[in-house]
Amino acid sequence: MDLYNYIKSLHLIFVITWFAGLFYIVRLFVYQIEANDKPSPEKEILLKQYKIMTYRLWYIITWPSAILATLFAIWLLILMPAWLQMPWMHVKLGFVVLLIAYQIKCHLIYQKLQNDTFNYSSNFMRLWNEGATIILFAVVFLVILKNAFNWIYGVIGIVLFSILIMLGFRFYKKIRERNKS
């Protein structure tokens, strides 16, 4: 059982650093997109710095954390194979697949931004950032409650909270635009 606790602890540590990387990388995408609209030489200075920051975050923290969290999760499933028979674990693994898809999409966005291709607005990136938050809430509620259905209330709550944040963001944006004119 000691081995299990060490592996579980390492899994949780790397899940936390993985999510921290995902939360921060999208925030850096926002800054990078907004820097692209700045005048020279500020634009070039900021873009160069953000490219360095995103590279380091992505390859030194986020990807290694994702890989290590996954490896420790597989090890936990090997130690506790009965979990694979539980419905909540099936749902959790579905969210993990969704998280991996989210990371892959972030990687594609990262590559575009590293090549100075700006396909998204900073507002889109702010919304995109909520994706990891929703997955995190869903998985935490699911793991704690160990029920494939009760986690829905937590997800509904975070979705509603995200909608309120976005409505507040839009309201604030309109106020800023009115004050500029």
Q: Is residue 64 scored above 70 in pLDDT?
A: yes
Pick from 108, 105, 128: which is nearest to 27 by CA?
A: 128
Band of pLDDT at residue 84, cut at 50, 70 and 90: very high
* AA letter at 116: D
The mean pLDDT value for 85-99 works out to: 91
What backbone phi and psi angles, to 5 degrees, belong to 66?
-60, -45
DSSP 80: -
DSSP 57: I
The pTM is what? 0.85
Q: Is residue 144 scored above 70 in pLDDT?
A: yes
Count of domains forming the chain: 1
The mean pLDDT value for 137-164 works out to: 76
Contact yes or no for 7/79 (Cβ under 8 A)? yes
Residue carrying the six token digits 């954390």: 65
* AA letter at 79: L
The burial of 138, by beta-carbon neighbours within 10 Å (0-12 exposed, 13-18 middle, 19 or more buried), is given as buried
Which range has the top average pLDDT, 90-99, 106-115, 149-158? 106-115
Q: Is residue 42 scored above 70 in pLDDT?
A: yes
From the annotation, which residues make up the binding site for heme? 11, 92
Q: Is residue 4 scored above 90 in pLDDT?
A: yes
Spatial separation of the C-alpha atoms in residues 96 and 104, rounded to whole Å: 12
Q: In this predicted structure, what is the pLDDT of residue 149?
A: 61
Contact yes or no for 5/86 (Cβ under 8 A)? no
Contact yes or no for 37/116 (Cβ under 8 A)? no
What backbone phi and psi angles, to 5 degrees, belong to 147?
-140, 130
Q: Is residue 156 scored above 90 in pLDDT?
A: no
Domain span at residue 112 reads 2-180
- C-alpha dihedral (50, 102, 134, 22), degrees to nearest 10: -30
Helices (H), 80-121: 87-114
The mean pLDDT value for 86-97 works out to: 90
- Residue 125: CB atoms within 10 A of its CB come to 21
Flag the least confident range among 35-44, 50-59, 128-137.
128-137
Contact yes or no for 17/79 (Cβ under 8 A)? no
Model confidence over 111-129: pLDDT tens digits? 999 999 999 999 889 889 8
From the annotation, which residues make up the binding site? 11, 92
Q: Is residue 148 scored above 60 in pLDDT?
A: no
